[in-house]
Homo-oligomer: A and B are copies of this chain.
Amino acid sequence: MTMDKQMHQRAIDWLNQAADLLRATLDSPLQVKQKQNAHDLVTEMDCRIEDYLIQQIRHYYPNHQILSEEGQGDVFLNTEGYLWIIDPIDGTLNYVKEKNHFAILLGIYYNGNPIAGYIVDVMNEQLYYGIVGDGVYLNHQPLLPIQIASLETSLIHGNVHLFIHNRYQAREILNHSLGMRHYGAAGLDMISVIRGEAALYLSPRLQPWDFAAGLAIFTAMNYKMTTPTGQPLDLLKQQAVLACHPAVHSQVLDIIQSTDSEANYNDN
């Protein structure tokens, strides 16, 4: 199944509308609620963007399934047919605290296979998308990534707790690299790999809406996004994710699997 041009154009129009709304309301007072803890926030804008996107999809594609972060999508059963996976605001903590460095994420899948992925870096007004079988674009121009030659000559991205607790041999990966950067929004940390600014992004725990857009773009680029043990990602569950340039993927898997303890490479 390849991406339908009209569906692509609609997706872009909706994402642009949503990004405009987020920028226009940026200085308005915001209702912020905690979900699981103080780091896990939801605002009325997450819900409003989600609601807008879901209404559009339901209007034009009533038979498609929708999986979305704030729960207004389908109570999800399977990956058959078309599936839209949405994160209305990726990096809600950055959105609330920085008013910067957040994204809108959309992945479109058919029978469990990615066909298109979209990441809007809202404050930089940059739209990245990848169409499987076609290529990857930044603001509608073909994206030419910086070359990645090896882990030793590259930067890496990940959350600081990975390195403090040395999960997935993160310190060993770091020691092989030139250094660590972290933006705190999965979509934006993945963009660093997509642009070739970094060789990899490692996360101990991503939800489907955190990685679905990136996985589709990575697939369009023949880049690697797997679990830290190299297994395919499951679209229906939370899991650890290694998003990686192909030049370093097997080396990083080897480092992760060189650990002495099972606990360190448990994907869940």
Contact = CB atoms under 8 A, between A and B. Distances in A.
Nearest to A162: B160
Contacts of A192: 98
Interface stretch (A75-83, A179-187, A256-264): A179-187
Copies of this chain, tallied across the complex: 2
Interface string A197-219: 11000000000000000000000
Contacts of A98: 146, 155, 192, 195, 197-198
A66 interface: no
Given A146-B98, A155-B97, A181 B183 contact: yes
Contacts of A159: 179-180
Nearest to A41: B178
B174 A160 contact: yes
Contacts of A174: 160
A171 B179 contact: no
Contact of A160 (B99, B152, B160): B160
Interface string A163-201: 110000001001000111111100000001001011000
A93 interface: yes
A191 to B, nearest CB: 10
10 contacts: A93-B178, A98-B146, A99-B146, A100-B197, A101-B181, A101-B197, A124-B124, A160-B163, A163-B163, A181-B182
Interface of A: 38-39, 93-94, 97-101, 124, 146, 152-155, 159-160, 163-164, 171, 174, 178-184, 192, 195, 197-198
